[in-house]
């Protein structure tokens, strides 16, 4: 069947004709040897001039999709069919969308969400841009051409000293600046941990619900994640203690993701004893520890580790911006020796200019001030959300006001939505460990969209 052109499409007619035949030939819908309409017949059918048809046919012949035999007209070339082909643009075309009516995200801006619960984003309008610019210029003026070398492989010494002081004061972390390694984010930190533990058993205990990005990183590092059951107050130490063969365990004790639980002191002590007995490592991801809204947070797990079995991960992505690409590792003495032996040929990957800018921000107390301001802002947002959930969900979803983070049981929320007339539309990504629920929450606003973490985070959820 000849193509039907969408008159409202924002792309040349020849491109749409080209795509129509190219895709159907590749998919086998138009078998090899099939005769195509003549240029004049197709132009009359589409109600266009001969020029776009001639251009499209010429491009298809040039790329080998059509054959043009004298007195026989145009026929489809014999090509083994491909499945799911999307393919490149024609060589004579530039910056064209794949479809005549492009989908959001493919050359067309996606409609902004009224309510977005995505957990890996910040509010860019709250980034201290003016201060950052000022300190960046100051760093350039103060250090000049010295910034254009590789620098210390572990990161700028001044920044590492300030991080040590910041963590000592706010998280109780006990370390020396030499134990701190600046990284370009949590992903690189996970990569380095994988390299440092390469000689260990590859079975790694992980929380049964965890950040899908970290799960993927551990898999790429050839770890075998062993899920450990979660209880209301975090990781089940009883189940962990039955796994004596693990090389270590990955935990988020200050803010379990996504449930929001804080690991109590008794369980932290049991974790340390487990690591001592088994010779395992504890990978402490101090995720979101800066944003505690009720009471004081417990000190970091690393602060009560007398044996040096805790590897501490931190990042500035949550408190400043992911684009800064700055994180850090605190290595216990045994792994620090291994790092200095095995990573002595590695150069620092984080920008020296960014490190010096952050150093100036911390030296003048601006980072602490920014954290306090964002904590107040997020706390106000959280209060509004809790009140709205309590009012509109009523008795269908339990609302835990006493928790520092998180306001509902995710699984209860999903079950509640299923019992209502709200539409729930799963949106799967390429990753099996991530899914979003799009909820039309009509009782709060007319048509806001709520995004919720999904598949592996909510076991048993049918797609």
Given a contact cutoff of 8 angstroms between Cβ atoms, the answer to whether 119 and 258 are in contact is yes
Number of domains in the chain: 2
The predicted structure's pLDDT at residue 407: 35
pLDDT in tens, 146-200: 888 888 999 999 999 999 999 998 888 999 999 999 999 888 898 899 889 887 7
Residue 236 in domain: yes
Percentage of the residues of the chain whose pLDDT score is greater than 70: 73
102 shares its domain with 156? no
Pairing label, strands 234-235, 66-69: unpaired
The predicted structure's pLDDT at residue 4: 65
Q: Residue 103 has which token pair?
A: 């989908």
The predicted structure's pLDDT at residue 104: 45
Among the candidates 367, 398, 427, a domain finishes at: 367
66 shares its domain with 157? no
The predicted structure's pLDDT at residue 212: 82
153 shares its domain with 284? yes
3-state secondary structure at position 462:
coil
277 shares its domain with 252? yes
Residue 328 in domain: yes
68 shares its domain with 131? no
Residue 194 in domain: yes
Residue 231 structural domain:
126-367
3-state secondary structure at position 453:
strand
194 shares its domain with 81? no
Residue 413 in domain: no
37 shares its domain with 161? no
353 shares its domain with 263? yes
Collect the ranges in the chain with pLDDT lower than 50: 86-107, 402-463
Pairing label, strands 327-330, 310-315: antiparallel
- Side-chain-side CA neighbours of residue 451 (13 Å): 16
180 shares its domain with 74? no
277 shares its domain with 208? yes
**Integer Rg of the chain from CA:** 28
Among the candidates 56, 84, 111, a domain finishes at: 111
103 shares its domain with 227? no
């Amino acid at each position: 069947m000849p193509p039907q052109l969408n008159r409202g499409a924002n792309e040349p007619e020849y491109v749409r004709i080209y795509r129509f035949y190219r895709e159907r030939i590749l998919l086998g819908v138009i078998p090899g040897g099939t005769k195509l309409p003549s240029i004049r017949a197709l132009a009359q059918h589409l109600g266009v001039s001969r020029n776009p048809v001639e251009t499209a046919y010429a491009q298809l012949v040039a790329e080998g999709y059509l054959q043009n035999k004298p007195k026989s007209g145009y026929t489809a070339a014999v090509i083994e069919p491909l499945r799911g082909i999307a393919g490149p643009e024609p060589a004579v075309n530039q910056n064209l969308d794949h479809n005549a009516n492009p989908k959001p995200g493919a050359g067309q801006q996606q409609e902004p969400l009224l309510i977005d619960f995505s957990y890996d984003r910040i509010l860019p309008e709250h980034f201290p841009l003016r201060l950052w610019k000022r300190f960046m210029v100051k760093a350039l003026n103060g250090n000049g051409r010295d910034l254009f070398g590789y620098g210390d492989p572990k990161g700028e010494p001044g920044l590492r000293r300030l991080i040590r002081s910041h963590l000592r004061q706010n998280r109780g972390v006990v370390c020396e600046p030499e134990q701190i390694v600046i990284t370009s984010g949590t992903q690189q930190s996970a990569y380095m941990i994988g390299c440092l533990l390469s000689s260990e058993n590859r079975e790694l205990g992980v929380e049964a619900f965890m950040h899908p990005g970290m799960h993927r990183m551990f898999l790429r590092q050839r770890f075998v994640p062993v899920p450990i059951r979660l209880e209301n107050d975090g990781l089940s130490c009883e189940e962990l203690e039955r796994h004596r063969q693990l090389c270590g365990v990955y935990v988020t004790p200050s803010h379990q993701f996504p449930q929001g639980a804080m690991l109590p002191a008794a369980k932290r002590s049991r974790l340390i004893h487990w690591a001592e007995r088994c010779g395992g490592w504890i990978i402490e991801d101090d995720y979101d520890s800066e944003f505690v809204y009720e009471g004081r947070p417990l000190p970091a797990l690393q602060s009560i580790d007398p044996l040096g079995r805790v590897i501490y991960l931190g990042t500035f992505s949550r408190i400043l911006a992911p684009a800064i690409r700055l994180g850090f590792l605190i290595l216990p003495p045994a792994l620090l020796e291994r790092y200095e032996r095995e990573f002595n040929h590695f150069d620092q990957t984080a920008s020296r200019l960014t490190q010096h800018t952050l150093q100036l921000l911390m030296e003048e107390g601006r980072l602490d001030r920014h954290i306090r301001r964002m904590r107040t802002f997020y706390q106000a947002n959280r209060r509004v959300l809790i009140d709205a959930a309590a009012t509109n969900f009523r008795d269908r979803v339990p609302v835990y006001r006493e928790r520092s983070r998180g306001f509902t049981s995710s699984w209860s929320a999903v079950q509640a939505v299923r019992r209502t007339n709200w539409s729930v539309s799963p949106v799967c990504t390429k990753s099996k460990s991530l899914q979003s629920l799009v909820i039309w929450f009509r009782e709060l606003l007319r048509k806001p969209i709520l995004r919720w973490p999904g598949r592996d985070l909510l076991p048993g959820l049918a797609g």
